[in-house]
């Protein structure tokens, strides 16, 4: 016979936890949970906070390496960038809230990921984002793009952290569930990194930042459920952000971090006060005693339940060393932010909350964190689709027209309409952002001559058709993009966006993507140091394409070694690193020209990827390369078009291989780079490639003002630029 506490009906219990998990709470407590306790168990054990479906697979990721200071498990990953400095970064999803309320959903996504980074003591130096919207023609797409872009800009611009890059795709698979993945990157001194662990009994718990309101209650639970037609009714669970408070919070926290007052720190993100306090206690193996009457409150008569589950933004929780409260008070008062000592750590191992003189919660902490459910959900392997080679497809009649059609397509078109709304230059260290011809963003480490390179990548159509190869490819492309700007790739963060894990095929997509990603991370020595899982991205039973977004970070040891794909001049020799077999399965060409999305994506040979990339990076550092662009979406034709547009100089390609021309131009074979080489250096680089066993093919020469192929096919740079720039303004109803 199931027990229930006073005021708890079976319906209330069921709306918080599945029956078996409810029974577990009764077992842990030795009695039925009250409403506050039920709320706390429900958010801590939500998919969003507990990773209960994904943990069993995520443990396969390689998470260590000689540069890794902190892997997954803290607020963000930390890697060593030399000279006593660390780069701290993470990517996180804010998909569900952004679909319901695009401006605030996206804005608070940016705010949340920034807090994850500065909580660890880093000054944020860059923001990135990976966005997936529904089909351009879908009725909601324009409104969602408009709101999400304004929200990202509205928050990032105000806090004064440059938004330097990202990617945006459109596909009908996201019609009912858009993806908004935001990434933040910060820099700290390696001896000034702050963790959630470190608390000891008898230390004050200090709340800082905004007051607590009723917004966002059960946001973490919402993010762990499917959508249906009534999802708009969930709008009140979306939080509201205030970037002005966040900016003050960054400055105040960094000021406090300059003192020796802090024992542990955690931002209040998903599940707010509950998860921040529980995580710090769990990591310090201590208990918590908090008086909720002392929590700064924005609204009257808030209940203990509401305070513990609120996801009001711009709040942090510190555990200070005893007697240091006055230091925090002085700093937060100066910045006109709330600061309140709301309790202390204990040696009981229990979380005890009082409100209005009564004990409203008394839970043993260890089982709350450690006994969280973990599922071995059944999963099924995807059935591989056959490869599609160029020889199986008829050639287009008009190649020039085909290239223009591809360059105006949603995935290849210019996203200037989006990135012009982001401040990319604040902090005055941006060396390359979305506007610049470079495969990754480049941000100088302030006051030094080294730079961080950052990229976000994923090709969902590959993951859909072959999750293992797609998972490998997402990691490999991030590694390649960092290589193409001259960086040493260091590590990745990930944002695993999938449908309902209770379905075998979806869980299979997840498991196989993780499998592919893990293999790529291992071979490329490119470990996972942080990440986030977003499941249940489904509406009315339709799941999104599997989208394991990868955020890669690398180091450019000297700014003079950075590389881009512009600046090509007449007479430069064009070469392609890597072999082209003409793989057109799941390619942009197949989708845009043949209106098909089937076929196996191009296989990823990780050893070849590594060999070719290491060669390219070495040649960049030997100053042998003038311009470098990775070959990915749209193949050689897209890369050459972009290089020509960026340089204002034509590229004249000569096709003299056995491979059909459409395979050569549009094939998306991996591990390839397009290079422009000064004529005087052409001989040396060919010699070097031969010595390294790297295939290097001369494919043409720069000059004129058009992209030409064999002198017969010609597309002018001005036509390319005109179509490439037209898609976004047309979509947004702002075409001139």
Interacting residues toward another protein by CB under 8 A: 150, 153-154, 157-160, 242-245, 247-248, 335-336, 419-431, 435, 444, 559, 734
DSSP state of 234: G
* Residue 569 beta carbon to another protein: minimum distance, rounded to whole angstroms: 19
Q: Kindly tell me which of 253 and 702 has the beta carbon lying closer to another protein.
A: 253
Active site residue 16: no
Judge residue 192's burial from the number of C-beta atoms within 10 Å of its C-beta, 0-12 exposed, 13-18 middle, 19 or more buried.
middle
* Residue 109 beta carbon to another protein: minimum distance, rounded to whole angstroms: 17
In whole angstroms, give the CA distance from residue 412 to residue 393.
22
Going by their DSSP bridges, the two strands 350-355 and 441-444 should be labelled as unpaired
* Residue 415 beta carbon to another protein: minimum distance, rounded to whole angstroms: 13
**Three-class DSSP category at 205:** strand
**Three-class DSSP category at 516:** helix
* Residue 263 beta carbon to another protein: minimum distance, rounded to whole angstroms: 28
In whole angstroms, give the CA distance from residue 267 to residue 206.
12
* Residue 300 beta carbon to another protein: minimum distance, rounded to whole angstroms: 23
Q: Kindly tell me which of 449 and 570 has the beta carbon lying closer to another protein.
A: 449
- From the candidates 16, 57, 94, 171, which is the catalytic residue? 94
In whole angstroms, give the CA distance from residue 364 to residue 25.
10
* Residue 436 beta carbon to another protein: minimum distance, rounded to whole angstroms: 10
User: Encoding tokens for residue 674?
Assistant: 């397009």
* Residue 495 beta carbon to another protein: minimum distance, rounded to whole angstroms: 25
**How many Cβ atoms are within 10 Å of 408's Cβ, its own excluded?**
19
In whole angstroms, give the CA distance from residue 47 to residue 44.
8
Alpha-carbon Rg of the chain, whole angstroms?
26
Phi-psi region of 19 (alpha: psi -120 to 50; beta: other; left: phi over 0): alpha
Contacts 24+ apart (CB under 8 A), 518-522: 518/60, 518/61, 518/62, 518/471, 519/468, 519/472, 519/606, 520/471, 520/472, 520/473, 520/474, 520/475, 520/476, 520/479, 520/604, 520/606, 521/61, 521/62, 521/475, 521/492, 522/62
Q: Kindly tell me which of 190 and 421 has the beta carbon lying closer to another protein.
A: 421
What is the CB-side half-sphere exposure of residue 301 using CA atoms within 13 A?
Answer: 0
Q: Kindly tell me which of 403 and 627 has the beta carbon lying closer to another protein.
A: 627
- From the candidates 16, 48, 629, 662, which is the catalytic residue? 48
In whole angstroms, give the CA distance from residue 588 to residue 632.
10
In whole angstroms, give the CA distance from residue 319 to residue 323.
11
Name the helix (H) or strand (E) containing 29.
helix 19-29
Q: Kindly tell me which of 163 and 534 has the beta carbon lying closer to another protein.
A: 163
If we measure between CA atoms, which residue out of 512, 528, 530, 408 comes closest to residue 465?
512
**How many Cβ atoms are within 10 Å of 491's Cβ, its own excluded?**
27
Q: Are 461 and 545 in contact (CB under 8 A)?
A: yes
Q: Kindly tell me which of 195 and 422 has the beta carbon lying closer to another protein.
A: 422
Q: Which DSSP string do the residues of 577-593 spell out, in sequence order?
A: ES----B-TT-HHHHHH
Judge residue 282's burial from the number of C-beta atoms within 10 Å of its C-beta, 0-12 exposed, 13-18 middle, 19 or more buried.
buried
In whole angstroms, give the CA distance from residue 634 to residue 591.
10
Q: Kindly tell me which of 157 and 237 has the beta carbon lying closer to another protein.
A: 157
Active site residue 94: yes
Q: Kindly tell me which of 250 and 643 has the beta carbon lying closer to another protein.
A: 250
Alpha helix positions (H), 51-92: 55-58
Locus of tokens 């030795």: 30
Q: Kindly tell me which of 86 and 245 has the beta carbon lying closer to another protein.
A: 245
Q: Kindly tell me which of 243 and 272 has the beta carbon lying closer to another protein.
A: 243
Q: Backbone phi, then psi, for 387, in 5-degree steps? A: -65, 155
Q: Kindly tell me which of 291 and 725 has the beta carbon lying closer to another protein.
A: 725
Active site (catalytic) residues: 48, 94
């Amino acid at each position: 016979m199931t027990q229930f506490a006073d005021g708890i009906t079976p319906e209330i219990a069921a709306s918080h936890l599945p029956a078996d998990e409810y029974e577990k709470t009764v077992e842990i407590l030795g009695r039925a949970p009250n409403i506050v306790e039920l709320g706390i168990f429900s958010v801590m054990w939500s998919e969003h906070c507990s990773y209960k479906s994904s943990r069993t697979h995520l443990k396969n990721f390689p998470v260590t390496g000689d540069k890794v200071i902190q892997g997954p498990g803290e607020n963000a990953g930390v890697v060593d960038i030399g000279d006593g400095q660390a780069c701290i970064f993470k990517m996180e999803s804010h998909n569900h809230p952004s679909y319901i309320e695009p401006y605030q959903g996206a804005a608070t996504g940016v705010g949340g990921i920034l807090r994850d980074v500065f909580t660890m003591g880093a000054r944020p130096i860059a923001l990135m984002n990976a966005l997936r919207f529904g089909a351009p023609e879908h009725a909601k797409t324009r409104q969602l793009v408009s709101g999400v872009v304004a929200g990202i800009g509205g928050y990032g611009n105000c806090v004064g952290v440059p938004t330097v890059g990202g990617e945006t795709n459109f596909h009908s698979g996201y019609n009912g569930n858009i993806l908004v993945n935001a990434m933040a990157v910060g820099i700290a001194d390696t001896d000034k990194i702050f963790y959630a662990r470190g608390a000891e009994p008898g230390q004050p718990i200090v709340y800082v930042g905004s007051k607590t309101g009723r917004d966002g209650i059960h946001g973490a639970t919402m993010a762990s459920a499917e959508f249906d037609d009534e999802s708009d009714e969930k709008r009140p669970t979306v939080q509201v952000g205030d970037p002005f408070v966040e900016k003050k919070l960054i400055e105040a926290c960094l000021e406090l971090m300059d003192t020796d007052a802090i024992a542990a720190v955690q931002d209040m993100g998903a599940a707010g006060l509950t998860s921040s306090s529980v995580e710090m206690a769990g990591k310090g193996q201590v208990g918590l005693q908090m008086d909720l009457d002392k929590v700064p409150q924005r609204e009257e008569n808030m209940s203990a339940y509401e305070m513990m589950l609120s996801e009001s933004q711009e709040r942090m929780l510190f555990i200070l060393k005893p007697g240091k409260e006055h230091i925090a008070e002085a700093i937060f008062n100066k910045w006109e932010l709330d600061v309140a000592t709301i309790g202390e750590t204990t040696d009981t191992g229990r979380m005890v909350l009082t409100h209005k003189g009564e004990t409203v919660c008394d839970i043993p902490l260890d089982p709350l964190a450690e006994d969280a459910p973990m599922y071995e959900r059944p999963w099924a392997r995807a059935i591989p689709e056959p490869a599609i080679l160029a020889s199986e497809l008829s050639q287009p009649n008009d190649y020039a027209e085909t290239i223009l059609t591809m360059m105006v397509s949603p995935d290849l078109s210019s996203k200037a309409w989006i990135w012009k709304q982001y401040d990319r230059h604040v902090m005055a260290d941006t060396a390359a952002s979305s506007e610049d011809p470079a495969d990754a963003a480049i941000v100088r480490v302030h006051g030094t001559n080294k730079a961080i390179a950052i990229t976000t990548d994923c090709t969902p159509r590959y993951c859909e058709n072959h999750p293992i190869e797609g998972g490998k490819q997402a990691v490999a492309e991030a590694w390649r993009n960092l290589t193409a700007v001259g960086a040493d790739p260091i590590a990745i963060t990930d944002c695993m966006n999938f449908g309902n894990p209770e379905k075998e095929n979806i869980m299979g997509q997840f498991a196989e993507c993780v499998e592919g990603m893990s293999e790529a991370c291992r071979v490329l020595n490119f470990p996972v140091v942080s990440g986030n899982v977003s499941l249940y991205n489904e509406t009315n039973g339709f799941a999104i394409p599997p989208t394991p977004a990868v955020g890669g970070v690398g180091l450019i040891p000297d700014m003079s070694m950075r590389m881009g794909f512009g600046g090509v001049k007449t007479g430069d020799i064009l070469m392609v690193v890597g072999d082209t077999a003409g793989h057109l399965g799941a390619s942009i060409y197949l989708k845009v020209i043949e209106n098909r999305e089937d076929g196996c994506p191009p296989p990823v040979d990780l050893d070849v990827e590594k060999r070719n990339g290491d060669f390219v990076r070495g040649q960049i550092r030997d100053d042998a390369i003038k311009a470098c662009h990775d070959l990915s979406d749209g193949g050689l034709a897209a890369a050459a078009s972009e290089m020509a547009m960026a340089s204002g100089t034509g590229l004249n390609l000569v096709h003299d291989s056995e491979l059909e021309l459409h395979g050569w131009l549009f094939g998306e074979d991996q591990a390839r780079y397009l290079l422009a080489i000064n004529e005087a250096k052409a001989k040396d680089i060919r010699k070097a490639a031969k010595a390294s066993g790297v295939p290097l093919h001369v494919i043409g020469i720069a000059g004129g003002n058009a992209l030409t192929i064999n002198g017969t096919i010609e597309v002018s740079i001005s036509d390319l630029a005109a179509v490439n720039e037209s898609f976004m303004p047309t979509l947004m109803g702002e075409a001139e």
